[in-house]
């Protein structure tokens, strides 16, 4: 039963090329013009590795982390909002 469940999850979690493209476009809108904060570089490394491995779950987690870090930087008054 467990193998079947894992196989179903893997089949459902494959992204199309347009989904990958949308994820990268969102990431790049946040990274374009971002201040030099090391966590952004770490997020980019996670996104790049997840993309190379085809691991959309890790890509989503990296994207969410990136979004949270951007919001935290702006809400903490560390820098002005740089994305639209």
- Write the pLDDT tens digit of every residue in 5-51: 555 555 556 788 899 899 999 999 988 988 888 888 898 899 999 99
Domain layout of the chain by residue ranges: 2-75
Which segments of 1-84 does DSSP mark as H helices, in order? 2-12, 17-31, 38-53, 56-75
Q: Is the pTM of this model over 0.85?
A: no
pLDDT of residue 10: 55
Q: 55 or 1: whose pLDDT is higher?
A: 55
Q: Give the per-residue pLDDT at 84.
A: 79
């Amino acid at each position: 039963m467990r193998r079947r469940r894992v196989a179903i999850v893997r089949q459902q979690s494959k992204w199309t090329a347009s989904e990958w493209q949308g994820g990268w476009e969102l990431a790049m809108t946040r990274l374009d013009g971002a201040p030099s904060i090391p966590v952004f570089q770490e997020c980019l490394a996670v996104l790049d590795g997840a993309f190379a491995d085809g691991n959309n779950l890790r890509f989503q987690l990296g994207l969410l982390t990136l979004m949270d870090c951007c919001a935290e930087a702006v809400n903490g008054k560390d820098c002005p909002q740089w994305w639209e």
